[in-house]
Amino acid sequence: VRSPKGFPKLKNDTFLRAARGEETEYTPVWCMRQAGRYLPEFRETRAAQDFFATCRSPKLCCELTLQPLRRFPLDAAIIFSDILVVPQALGMEVVMVPGKGPTFTEPLKEVEDLLKLRQKVDVTAELGYVFQAITLTRHSLEGRVPLIGFSGAPWTLMSYMVEGGGSTTMAKAKSWLYRHPEASHRLLRLLADVVTDYLVGQVAAGAQALQLFESHAGHLGPEQFQDFALPYIRDIAQAVKSKLKEEALPLVPMIIFAKDAHYALRDLAHAGYEVVGLDWTIRPQEARAQTGKDVTLQGNLDPCALYASKEKIGELVKKMLEGFGTQRYIANLGHGLYPDMSPEHVGAFVEAVHAHSRHINKH
């Protein structure tokens, strides 16, 4: 077994219990991008460093992961990293351009460009810095809350690798799906294999749950999602679980978050994940009806609701909890926190989830 032993005993397992569908006394809550620029201490820690240099520093990743937990009674930590470390591990160069975001110096343009990628990736050699960050953070958390590891899903990673950065239409990446379906599947398969090893390595390093981000699901329609996203999402869950068993590692709960993919909720509920994450564009009752009784749901407050007054945030949280119910549910936002959000309002969100869910459970 590759996992370092001697981790501190977990004191608050509410998030893990909810993820596994066990009863909880209150609804656990965490926020996507909770380690982020909305915190002045985050901006201070990050100021001098190149973004990806920060990702490669276990000490800085640990500090950034812990910052939100010093302020808020969150029920989980998520390791500070980025989904684009996987394309980097395949040999692509990505730089963070201020005001523009992540940019690939040489995106994949032609099918031949696939030959430039590493066909076999030793994740420990290429991404060992993430594993070190996870181990250090798991120790530094002192068992306060569980630590979540994550990866981007193959289609989302492919879309960045072909577009060369963010895009409103994903037209370049989608044109590959229509013009070069075989090459697209080759790339997606390569990505799925690397993501599988990467996630297993995160558990070996100490991650207690895993989230797969299919952030660009909304750019695909149901048919393309069926062909180019869902099979790899399913494969990753299955392969990660069988490798964890083989290596005698803990079978941690897995979360799939496919943004804007309501058309696929039924399929995602049967894709092998304990938790299905939701964006804010679907009603809680509708999501429950489509996903059934056997998965936990996570989400889905509109992040922009945090611009509202604290009273209003409380009302919206109460309504959300009434919609989802307090059990088999993890409260979160429907996407990440934005840099200009007030930390006080994030605190109000977290506290409202705890207070209202305890109240509903009592009555």
> What's the confidence (pLDDT) of residue 49?
87
On whether residue 8 sits in a domain, the answer given is: no
Q: Find the mean pLDDT for residues 76-104.
A: 96
> What's the confidence (pLDDT) of residue 200?
98
Distance, in Å, from the CA atom of 356 to the CA atom of 197, rounded to the nearest integer, reads 39
3-state helix, strand, coil in the chain (%, to 5): 50, 10, 35
On whether residue 3 sits in a domain, the answer given is: no
> What's the confidence (pLDDT) of residue 99?
86
Q: Find the mean pLDDT for residues 192-210.
A: 98
Identify the DSSP state of 274: S
Question: pTM for the whole thing?
Answer: 0.98
> What's the confidence (pLDDT) of residue 48?
80
On whether residue 292 sits in a domain, the answer given is: yes
> What's the confidence (pLDDT) of residue 139?
98
On whether residue 7 sits in a domain, the answer given is: no
What are the angstrom distances between the C-alpha of 74 and each of 83, 195, 206, 213, 217? 22, 27, 19, 20, 27
Active site residues: 33, 37, 46, 82, 160
Q: Find the mean pLDDT for residues 107-119.
A: 98
Distance, in Å, from the CA atom of 215 to the CA atom of 301, rounded to the nearest integer, reads 16
φ, ψ dihedrals at 56, nearest 5°: -90, 0
Q: Find the mean pLDDT for residues 190-199.
A: 98
Q: What is the mean pLDDT of the chain?
A: 97
Distance, in Å, from the CA atom of 80 to the CA atom of 258, rounded to the nearest integer, reads 20
Q: Is the pLDDT of residue 192 over 80?
A: yes
Distance, in Å, from the CA atom of 340 to the CA atom of 38, rounded to the nearest integer, reads 6
Asked whether 134 and 204 are in contact (CB, 8 A), the reply is: no
Q: Find the mean pLDDT for residues 148-166.
A: 98
Q: Is the pLDDT of residue 277 over 70?
A: yes
On whether residue 230 sits in a domain, the answer given is: yes
On whether residue 225 sits in a domain, the answer given is: yes
> What's the confidence (pLDDT) of residue 3?
47
Q: Find the mean pLDDT for residues 99-104.
A: 94
Q: What is the CATH number of the domain that holds 70?
A: 3.20.20.210
pLDDT tens digits along 8-60? 999 999 999 999 999 999 999 999 999 999 999 999 999 888 999 999 999 99
SS3 of 332, please?
strand
Q: Find the mean pLDDT for residues 169-178.
A: 98
Identify the DSSP state of 7: P
> What's the confidence (pLDDT) of residue 1?
41
> What's the confidence (pLDDT) of residue 86?
98
φ, ψ dihedrals at 212, nearest 5°: -105, 125
On whether residue 130 sits in a domain, the answer given is: yes
Q: Is the pLDDT of residue 5 over 90?
A: no
How many domains in the chain?
A: 1
On whether residue 6 sits in a domain, the answer given is: no
Residue 196 pLDDT grade (very low, low, confident, very high; cuts 50, 70, 90): very high
Give strand pairing partners of 214. 258
> What's the confidence (pLDDT) of residue 4?
55
Domain hosting residue 91, numbered range: 13-362
